[in-house]
Structure 1
């Protein structure tokens, strides 16, 4: 282990060069020695030839890899909270010939701990071309530049724990609004957004600063109580402790919302875990390099943005399908007049509430920044306006632009990303649009079996249903 320092950034970290041996026993001893050297608090980088893969996906060829060796190495990475970032270029860093034929493996890599990863805004690991060696050189580069962009409003679930939150929402919401139905709802949401921004800055405040102040105040109160255990000092101590516990709970709610870990239920404070999940997601979702359609590696943001627009514009361009009219005439009509009447029934308040409660309150918010948690928590305040907006929608009133807008987000399909074909685009709608869609979905659920054959219905389950209904909503808006 050596201590390194990058002078231009005044950044110091520890570095360990690795050249692992070929036997499992020797490598197991190495994993134990490295675990003893790893400190959670100081930045650490490990790099070199680990002589083992961490998963089956890092192996290609007829020779069978040793599963026990993979298990040992994977546990070493997990137990020490090390981060194994994806590479740009080839997945494999070693190529050789065995009795069973050619073999490719990822034996060389960089591993870093969270303190080192958190220092960088983005990290790239490039696998370069092999020359005379059977190993590919790997190059790690990183930046710590903060991207400057407008900060988007996001409703924070931790706000609901403040005693004044409901009153602030009620006073702002009940003010006069322009128009009615969807227009009034969009106007009130926009006005409330401005109000909550000011309230968060002036009243709720920065929860992280509040925790630091309260921790210092609690320590002083404990010393005061030790010197003078009077009822007054005990009461002051207990009040400060209660305020600190509430602030810590708000901090946990903040990180839990940003992490969006759906499988984790209530339990002990998981602030550190949520923070690590958010950091890891930000690193994986940042597109710092991509290959163009011609195979050129793009590393600048303008070039990446141009390639992104070009790729997805071509992917989602409409194509003419001649002869479809004749085919459509052969399809049987399975929708009865009674089914059409059921679809056209007036929407009830119960339908609207059921739709709100069926949607995930913690799912990612749309462009307006309000998630389902807001609509549930403030239901008694906003329910009438949401119901009138729903009636507007089903009456065919044009949807306001603020309510019909959406954001496109790219989700990685795999670990090693080469082109934009390795990303899956998803669309984030406003929660109000999701409510409209949910009501349509509930009504169509009884009719779809009549118009979709059994051969087609096998894949129209769960998420596929949602995709179909979002498409229907877009067609309705058009």
Structure 2
């Protein structure tokens, strides 16, 4: 861990006021940080750490390397006001117990759609035999899909980067053999399709993993790429939070309860409502009395069909009108 005043900003947006930061001003610092594989530790408190009458900058940092991220140390940084001690914010690093990794929530990966068995798996487990509200049935259907999709991922897409690399190497070896005068074997087409499929799946996986932000810089599967993943995971983790009473909570389980309690209290508090301003309502155009019944009348399926497709239901193709099965499902 490297901590202190680096006397330079790392990004242009970390300077507010004064002269504009040029790329040449931050290039050496950025190259040094990248060469040493340093990333900034997750922090809370002040955004800028140094100030003058007209300029505010982030000059103080707590930076860690890849070994620190792999060590899973429970540490956090807080930048607080310097008071009368200095013009630099105080960077306080606190150490806690080793971070306990919680079970990861289920996440859908776009690469699964490349599988030939994907639609079959979804159709098989999407049928829900029970009843209930639409929300409950949707929740149960999604729950039934978790285990089959995880199994599909392990069988066809587990260790996708390694699989893609092996498939690419095999394809290159066969192509070199053919281009050097060898005979094209019958399995070449299948080998190429398999390699293309795995490479596309890997690309989808990496793009979704990092939301496409670091794909070009990370050169896909380099060490830099995985360091970025670890940095984002460490940065996005919430190690402590203040509850409504101002008490700092550090227990991961209690942190989740603080969020739930905050929004529960927020949604349960009745809002301040104003009475209708009848004077304002009387101004302007009004709906005619004879149109009142049309506004409150129930909407029929035939009206929906005509409104969306502007066709004659009686003359529409099909045994009982255009897309009758589709409309029935949507209407239900």
Task: Please report the TM-score for the alignment, with normalisation by the length of structure 2.
Answer: 0.63
d(CA) in 2 for partners of 1:386, 1:79: 60
Q: 1:91 aligns with which of 44, 47, 50?
A: 47
User: Paired residue for 1:159, among 112, 118, 126?
Assistant: 112
Q: Which stretches in structure 2 are left out of the alignment for 5+ residues?
A: 310-322
Q: Structure 1, residues 27-48: CA drift from partner, whole Å, max 9, x if none? A: xxxxxxxxxxxxxxxxxx6543
Q: Which residue of 1 aligns with 2:319?
A: none
1:65 pairs with 2:18: yes
Displacement of 1:177: 4.3
Q: Within 5 A, what are the aligned runs for 1:289-328?
A: 289-293=240-244, 295-319=246-270, 321=272, 324-325=274-275, 327=277
Task: Work out whether 1:391 is the aligned partner of 2:331.
Answer: yes
Write the mapping of 1:39-54 to structure 2, written as runs, cut at 5 A: 46-54=2-10
CA contact (8 A) 1:181 1:388 kept: no
Is the 1:259–1:278 contact (alpha carbons within 8 Å) kept by the matching residues of 2? yes
How many pairs align? 303
Q: Structure 1 pair 251/238, CA: closer, same or farther in 2 (3 Å)?
A: same
Distance 1:93 1:184, change over 3 A: closer
Residues in 2 aligned to 1:176 and 1:106: alpha-carbon distance in whole angstroms: 55
Distance 1:349 1:122 in 2: 62
Determine the C-alpha separation between the residues in 1 that align with 2:324 and 2:208: 27
Q: Distance in 2 between matches of 1:176 and 1:243?
A: 34
Query: Could you list the runs of 5+ residues in structure 1 that have no partner in the other structure?
Result: 1-44, 353-382, 393-478
Which residue in the other structure is 1:442 paired with?
A: none
Q: CA deviation at 1:274?
A: 7.7
Measured in 2, the distance between the counterparts of 1:259 and 1:384 equals 42
How big is the shift at 1:158? 1.0
Residue aligning to 1:145: 99
- 1:93 is displaced (CA, Å) by 3.3
Give the counterpart of 1:110 among 55, 62, 67: 62
Instruction: Name the CA distance, whole Å, in 1 between partners of 2:47 and 2:174.
Output: 56
User: Does the C-alpha gap of structure 1 residues 285 and 209 become closer, same or farther in structure 2, counting only changes over 3 Å?
Assistant: closer
Give the deviation of 1:300 after TM superposition. Answer: 2.8
Per-residue Cα deviation, 1:186-240 (whole angstroms, up to 9, x for no partner)? 6655544444344444x425143751783597299669959x97536x5556654
Let me know the Cα RMSD of the aligned residues: 5.2
Of residues 263, 281, 300 in structure 2, which corresponds to 1:331? 281
Q: Who wins on radius of gyration, i.e. which is larger?
A: 2
| SS of residue in 2 equivalent to 1:51 | coil
State whether residues 73 and 98 of structure 2, in contact with CA within 8 Å, keep that contact through their aligned partners in structure 1. yes
Q: 1:409 aligns to what?
A: none
Deviations 1:298-352 (A, max 9, x none): 3332443343334333333333647x44546853585674873799353449969
Match of 1:259 among 183, 187, 210: 210
Alpha-carbon distance in structure 1 between the residues aligned to 2:113 and 2:306: 24
In the TM superposition, what is the alpha-carbon distance from 1:88 to its structure 2 partner?
2.1
Q: Assess, with a 3 A threshold, how the Cα gap between structure 1 residues 172 and 95 changes in structure 2: closer, same or farther.
A: closer
- CA contact 1:55–1:74 (8 Å) conserved in 2: no
* Conserved? CA contact 2:171–2:195, under 8 Å: no
